[in-house]
């Protein structure tokens, strides 16, 4: 046997084995290679519904295994648990029994989320209160994307409880819905009532869907691998790691850089997820809509992570009473919803403060609209000068929140603010701009592209959709070349994998 032939089994084992340091992500060459092979057999199974469903489930579980190892069994457990609970819930006529079953579903899902995500946080709090060593620290592994599939699964049972959805009869259909790999680890959070009707429908990929899918995958790849990763590795991470080594201007630009980084990282993932789903014949809802164009904090949350903000509105804010219980209760519901939204993002005080900041801002904006005649919820209803002022204020409020979101501790937050307000060092600005010319060029390009009118983005997508296949292949080749020019040697996981 030749050395090359002998190495094939070892290579296959490495391909199949879990490696925590090398997750399977959309922007990696390995995923693009595997996805090309997956598409070939997927097309062959287009008319064989059951075989196609099982094939996609198998690939989805493999995809999740490559990110979280044996914790893919947790995903299977969640699918089995809520599938059985929803069926029993649907057959129960007694309202008290129905409440018990939906409460059981919520308890199982939040119990999983709480154990894996918040145990260490609660141990730290207990040790701070009662002394170090009161409870033993346990380094619990956080399965990638657990917050996403837990919220997605809860929405299914809650919709069944509200009689807005009939439960599925086939468990594999539900496992398909929960494990579908494009949106599995970082969203968008897809509602069961929107996705389930598509599962057994024969997948049809029109020319428009194919072109839009390719366009979204390429733009997502550009956002993630060119803009986000380069800005992060060459500027933002350095600033947040040692803020005292940099001027206040650099610290401020580090915050603005992170605002663009997290947007490009997360919206890039969403674009790729939506694009990949289109190539498979499925449609996902839009998850981002140029959020930094927002002129109010209310508008920001209608544009940022739309699937999460609408989930929090429909399943938490409205369940708490929404705006139906009076003005003070409305403000309290907004604050509590965003506090829990902050806690969903991470088990740390800084995430709770981030949620509190946005909750208080939303409540104050609602109060402002009730007291000031002519005040508007969104910038589209404002005059141009009012919209400009609103965009500036909203963006900087959001960036202040991103400071807490990104910093490793509140100490880092204090150091960054100290540098900005006490050591800005304006005379150093030309030298900083020259030293980080590439970073600031990408920052300027990223924000400029973000602020372009929607009609230009729509025109670019229409052009890509109508382009001949040869031109689409050429665009893909150019994008891959650009990625190769700026990519680092290490894989940079998507930021929202940690949530």
> How many CB atoms are closer than 10 A to CB 417?
17
Lowest mean pLDDT among 137-141, 348-352, 495-499: 495-499
The SS3 of residue 63 is helix
Closest CA to 211 of 489, 412, 470: 470
For 136-175, b/e burial (b = at least 16 CB within 10 A) is eeeeeebbbbbbbbbbbbbbbbbbbbeeebebbeeebbbb
Say yes or no: 178 and 211 in one domain.
no
Q: Please state, in angstroms and rounded to a whole number, the distance separating the CA atoms of residues 138 and 258.
A: 31
Q: Is residue 321 in a domain? A: no
Residue 6 pLDDT more than 50? no
Query: What does the DSSP assignment read for 249-270?
Result: HHHHHHHHHHHHHHHHHHHHHH
Lowest mean pLDDT among 136-140, 150-154, 318-322: 136-140
Please count the CA atoms within 13 angstroms of the CA of 87 that sit on its side-chain side.
10
Please count the CA atoms within 13 angstroms of the CA of 268 that sit on its side-chain side.
26
Give the range with max mean pLDDT: 3-7, 126-130, 203-207: 203-207
How many domains, the chain? 2
Q: What is the mean pLDDT of residues 148-168?
A: 92
Residue 279 pLDDT more than 60? yes
Closest CA to 318 of 344, 342, 336: 336
Say yes or no: 226 and 83 in one domain.
no
Q: Please state, in angstroms and rounded to a whole number, the distance separating the CA atoms of residues 439 and 171.
A: 49
Lowest mean pLDDT among 16-20, 129-133, 487-491: 487-491
Q: Please state, in angstroms and rounded to a whole number, the distance separating the CA atoms of residues 306 and 288.
A: 6
Give the pLDDT band of residue 461 (cuts 50, 70, 90).
confident
Would you tell me the crossing angle of helices 72-91 and 171-179 to the nearest 10 degrees?
A: 130
CA-based torsion, 72, 77, 78, 84: positive or negative: positive
Residues 246/308, Cβ–Cβ less than 8 Å: no
Say yes or no: 286 and 429 in one domain.
yes
Active site members? 345
- Of 144, 166, 199, the residue that ends a domain is 199
Q: pLDDT by residue (tens digit) across 210-259?
A: 889 989 998 998 899 889 989 999 999 999 999 999 999 999 999 999 99
Average pLDDT, the chain: 87
Q: Please state, in angstroms and rounded to a whole number, the distance separating the CA atoms of residues 431 and 191.
A: 50
Residues 276/217, Cβ–Cβ less than 8 Å: yes
Say yes or no: 88 and 230 in one domain.
no
Take residue 120 and report the two structure tokens written for it: 């260490």
Residues 116/141, Cβ–Cβ less than 8 Å: yes
Say yes or no: 272 and 133 in one domain.
no
Residue 187 pLDDT more than 50? yes
Residue 5 pLDDT more than 60? no
Q: What percent of the chain has pLDDT over 90?
A: 54
What is the residue whose two structure tokens read 């070349």?
481
Q: Please state, in angstroms and rounded to a whole number, the distance separating the CA atoms of residues 411 and 257.
A: 20
Q: Is residue 335 in a domain? A: no
Say yes or no: 168 and 69 in one domain.
yes
Closest CA to 63 of 203, 184, 190: 184
Say yes or no: 195 and 228 in one domain.
no
Take residue 94 and report the two structure tokens written for it: 């007694």
Q: What is the mean pLDDT of residues 140-161?
A: 89
Take residue 233 and report the two structure tokens written for it: 């590795």
Q: Please state, in angstroms and rounded to a whole number, the distance separating the CA atoms of residues 216 and 91.
A: 42
Residues 373/357, Cβ–Cβ less than 8 Å: no
Closest CA to 75 of 2, 150, 4, 15: 150
Closest CA to 302 of 319, 316, 283, 288: 288
Residues 264/288, Cβ–Cβ less than 8 Å: no
Q: What is the mean pLDDT of residues 251-279?
A: 94
Q: In the prediction, which pLDDT does 68 show?
A: 85
Look up residue 132 and give its DSSP letter.
T
Say yes or no: 172 and 214 in one domain.
no
Q: Is residue 92 in a domain? A: yes
Query: What does the DSSP assignment read for 178-223?
Result: HH-GGGTTT-----HHHHHHHHSSPP---HHHHHHHHHHHHHHHII
Identify which has the larger pLDDT, 483 or 25.
25
Q: What percent of the chain has pLDDT over 70?
A: 93
Q: Is residue 479 in a domain? A: yes
Say yes or no: 267 and 190 in one domain.
no
Q: Is residue 98 in a domain? A: yes
Say yes or no: 224 and 285 in one domain.
yes
Burial of 320: CB neighbours in 10 Å, binned 0-12, 13-18, 19+: middle
Q: Which residues contact 256 (CB under 8 A, 6 or more apart)?
A: 399, 443
CA angle 406, 412, 414 (to 5 degrees): 115
Say yes or no: 264 and 128 in one domain.
no
- Of 199, 223, 247, the residue that ends a domain is 199
Q: Is residue 347 in a domain? A: no
Q: Is residue 314 in a domain? A: no
Q: Is residue 420 in a domain? A: yes
Q: pLDDT by residue (tens digit) across 380-432?
A: 777 888 889 999 999 999 999 999 999 988 999 999 999 999 999 999 999 99
Say yes or no: 194 and 216 in one domain.
no
- Of 199, 224, 242, the residue that ends a domain is 199
Residues 420/256, Cβ–Cβ less than 8 Å: no
Residues 442/228, Cβ–Cβ less than 8 Å: no
The range of the structural domain enclosing residue 454 comes to 207-295+382-491
Residues 236/253, Cβ–Cβ less than 8 Å: no
Look up residue 292 and give its DSSP letter.
G
């Amino acid at each position: 046997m030749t050395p090359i032939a002998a190495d094939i089994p070892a290579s296959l084992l490495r391909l199949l084995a879990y490696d925590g340091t090398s997750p399977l992500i959309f922007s990696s060459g390995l995923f693009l290679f595997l996805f090309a092979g997956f598409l070939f057999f997927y097309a062959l199974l287009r008319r064989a519904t059951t075989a196609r469903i099982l094939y996609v489930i198998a690939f989805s579980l493999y995809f999740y295994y490559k990110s979280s190892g044996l914790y893919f069994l947790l995903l299977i457990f969640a699918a089995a648990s809520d599938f059985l609970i929803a069926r029993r819930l649907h057959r129960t006529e007694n309202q008290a029994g129905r409440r018990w079953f939906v409460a059981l579903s919520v308890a199982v899902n939040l119990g999983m989320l709480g154990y894996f995500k918040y145990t260490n946080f609660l141990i730290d709090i207990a040790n701070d209160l009662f002394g170090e060593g009161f409870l033993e620290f346990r380094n619990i592994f956080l399965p990638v994307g657990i917050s996403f599939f837990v919220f997605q699964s809860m929405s299914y049972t809650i919709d069944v409880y509200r009689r807005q959805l009939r439960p599925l009869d086939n468990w594999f259909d539900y496992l398909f819905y929960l494990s579908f790999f494009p949106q599995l680890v970082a969203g968008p959070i897809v509602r069961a009532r929107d996705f389930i009707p598509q599962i057994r429908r024969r997948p049809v990929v029109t020319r428009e869907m194919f072109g839009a899918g390719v366009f979204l995958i390429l733009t997502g790849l550009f956002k993630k691998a060119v803009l986000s990763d380069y800005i992060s590795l060459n500027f933002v991470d350095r600033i947040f790691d040692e803020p005292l080594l940099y001027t206040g201007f650099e610290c401020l630009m580090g915050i603005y850089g992170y605002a663009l980084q997290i947007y490009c990282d997360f919206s890039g993932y969403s674009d790729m997820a939506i694009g990949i789903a289109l190539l498979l014949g499925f449609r996902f809802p839009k998850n981002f809509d140029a959020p930094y164009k927002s002129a109010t904090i209310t508008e920001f949350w209608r544009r940022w992570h739309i699937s999460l903000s609408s989930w929090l509105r429909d399943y938490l804010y409205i369940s708490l009473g929404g705006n139906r219980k009076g003005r003070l209760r409305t403000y309290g519901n907004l604050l509590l919803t965003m506090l829990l939204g902050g806690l969903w993002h991470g088990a740390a005080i800084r995430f709770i403060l981030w949620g509190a900041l946005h909750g208080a801002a939303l409540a104050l904006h609602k109060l402002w609209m009730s007291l000031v005649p002519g005040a508007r919820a969104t910038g589209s209803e404002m005059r141009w000068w009012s919209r400009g002022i609103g965009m500036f204020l909203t963006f900087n409020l959001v960036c202040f929140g991103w400071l807490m979101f990104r910093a490793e501790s509140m100490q880092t937050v204090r150091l960054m603010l100290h540098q900005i307000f006490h050591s800005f060092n304006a005379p150093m600005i030309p030298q900083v701009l020259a030293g980080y010319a590439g970073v600031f060029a990408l920052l300027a390009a990223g924000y400029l592209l973000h602020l372009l009118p929607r009609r230009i983005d729509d025109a670019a997508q229409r052009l890509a959709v109508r382009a001949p296949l040869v031109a689409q292949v050429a665009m893909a080749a150019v994008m891959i070349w650009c990625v190769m020019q700026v990519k680092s040697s290490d894989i940079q996981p998507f930021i929202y994998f940690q949530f």
